[in-house]
Amino acid sequence: TTNQQWGGRFNEPTDAFVARFTASVDFDQRMANQDIQGSVAHAKMLTKVGVLTEEECAQIIQGLTEIREEIANGEFQWSVELEDVHMNIEARLTQKIGITGKKLHTGRSRNDQVATDIRLYLRDEIDVISAELNRLQEGLLGLAEKEADTIMPGFTHLQTAQPVTFGHHLMAWFEMLHRDYERLQDCRKRINILPLGAAALAGTTYPIDRHMTAELLGFERPTENSLDSVSDRDFAIEFSSAASLIMMHLSRMSEELVLWTSAQFNFINLPDRFCTGSSIMPQKKNPDVPELVRGKSGRVFGHLFSLLTLMKSQPLAYNKDNQEDKEPIFDVVDTLQGSLRAFADMIPAIESRKQEMREAALRGFSTATDLADYLVRKGIAFRDSHEIVGKSVAYGIETGKDLGEMTLEELQQFSDTITEDVFDVLTLEGSVSARNHIGGTAPDQVRAAVKRGHEALAAR
């Protein structure tokens, strides 16, 4: 026998391998709840416009509700012969309620159905991801507050540059994630539009009320063009792009955590529960969580490219190519959610090694810019003061002394405008607290930024 849903014009059954090759049910069953949600709304709309009777609608909703239960309980028999999640559920509905089940697909195609399911699915997952991002940002605010006065070396080119506060560094991470959050919300706006009603590609002859369906499903409005509705997956690409940026940020944070936990930096301790050991080297404690997140960023970037490539040569309207969007989308969601969860759990548990950070900041002439600025305040032009400080640094390298460790006489070899008050600017505390403007590293500024951060989260 030929396929029960579309086999009418076929003279032989589908080749067994082709059936498996073209099926998506093994993975798209993940959207079962959204598929049922969409079908219930569609049935209600068809009833309102007189295509289905109240009685039929009640039967359909009852059947779909039971099917939802069967799926949740693991009792549902998924069948590869029925190709995808949509036809599996519809076939089961007809099995349960008879002929009325066959009326559900009136005025609808799998093409607008699947587009609706993915949008519902991504909308749900974006809300989960947003909550996790929020939790991670809360954790960063807590830690930044605690570390507002902790001094560490700041780097450019990974070479010691100027002292910064650890809290300031953490608040840089907070800012990255804040933009990521906004990008997700922006992407959600374009996802939250209803394609159902586009049918296969041209719309339908039934007197459908797409505004009603949109409202029932919580969509902002129906889409404008039926061809566009069933064919484009740009919203999934946009989501993957926002996800890629989050993973890129998590990967950068990971890189720093990995460096900081090394014996060579020794800036922080990650509690044992976030690390693993070595089967051969008994002394090892490895920062697996950040390493893995750094590694996982690659697969998300890859999925972004898969989806772009999937889309780029498709003529309007729907093409089966689009079935290939599911696995990348699902893996982007899983990878992102897992990585965010790991980070949200781990960040509040970071223990700083304040003494080690401080000593590192004292190495590498991190207050050289402060000395140059000091000379400028004494009337020397910046380029000349740059030269003077450069010579002092060269002397420090030769004698093994940092600027703050030199005597006044030693410093005066390079400029006689230097006096006793120079030591106020050569201390780490003096250096950071002098950068006391919005966006600067001063502890007071970090505390103010944390306060604004809390307000931003509360306003979401």
List interacting residues with ligand ARG (CB under 6 A).
Answer: 24, 28, 84, 110-111, 114, 320, 322-323
Please provide residue 452's backbone torsions phi and psi, each rounded to the nearest 5 degrees.
-65, -35
Q: Which is nearer to ligand ARG, 85 or 361 (CB)?
A: 85
The token pair that represents 160 in the structure block: 């010691």
Report the C-alpha gap between 404 and 391 in whole angstroms.
15
Phi-psi region of 153 (alpha: psi -120 to 50; beta: other; left: phi over 0): beta
Q: Please, what is the minimum distance in Å from the beta carbon of residue 82 to ligand ARG?
A: 11
Taking CA 25 as the corner, what is the angle to CA 88 and CA 200, rounded to the nearest 5 degrees? 70
From the CB of residue 4, how many other CB atoms can be counted at a distance below 10 Å?
13
Report the C-alpha gap between 46 and 447 in whole angstroms.
57
Q: Which of 157, 279, 313, 437 is catalytic?
A: 157
Does the active-site annotation cover 454?
no
Q: Please, what is the minimum distance in Å from the beta carbon of residue 4 to ligand ARG?
A: 15
From the CB of residue 253, how many other CB atoms can be counted at a distance below 10 Å?
22
Report the C-alpha gap between 68 and 107 in whole angstroms.
23
Q: Which is nearer to ligand ARG, 28 or 145 (CB)?
A: 28
The token pair that represents 199 in the structure block: 């049918």
Rg (CA), the chain: 31
Contact 161, 153 (CB under 8 A): yes
Q: Which is nearer to ligand ARG, 111 or 366 (CB)?
A: 111
Contact 154, 164 (CB under 8 A): yes
Which of 249, 247, 246, 267 has its CA nearest to residue 258?
Answer: 267
The 3-state DSSP class for residue 276 equals strand
Report the C-alpha gap between 152 and 428 in whole angstroms.
9
Contact 80, 23 (CB under 8 A): yes
Q: What's the full length of the chain, in residues?
A: 460
Report the C-alpha gap between 88 and 81 in whole angstroms.
9
Q: Please, what is the minimum distance in Å from the beta carbon of residue 322 to ligand ARG?
A: 5
Q: Please, what is the minimum distance in Å from the beta carbon of residue 110 to ligand ARG?
A: 4
Q: Which of 39, 109, 278, 339 is catalytic?
A: 278
The token pair that represents 326 in the structure block: 């599911």
Does the active-site annotation cover 168?
no
Q: Please, what is the minimum distance in Å from the beta carbon of residue 46 to ligand ARG?
A: 20
Q: Please, what is the minimum distance in Å from the beta carbon of residue 20 to ligand ARG?
A: 14
Report the C-alpha gap between 410 and 291 in whole angstroms.
46
Q: Please, what is the minimum distance in Å from the beta carbon of residue 39 to ligand ARG?
A: 14
Catalytic residue list: 157, 278
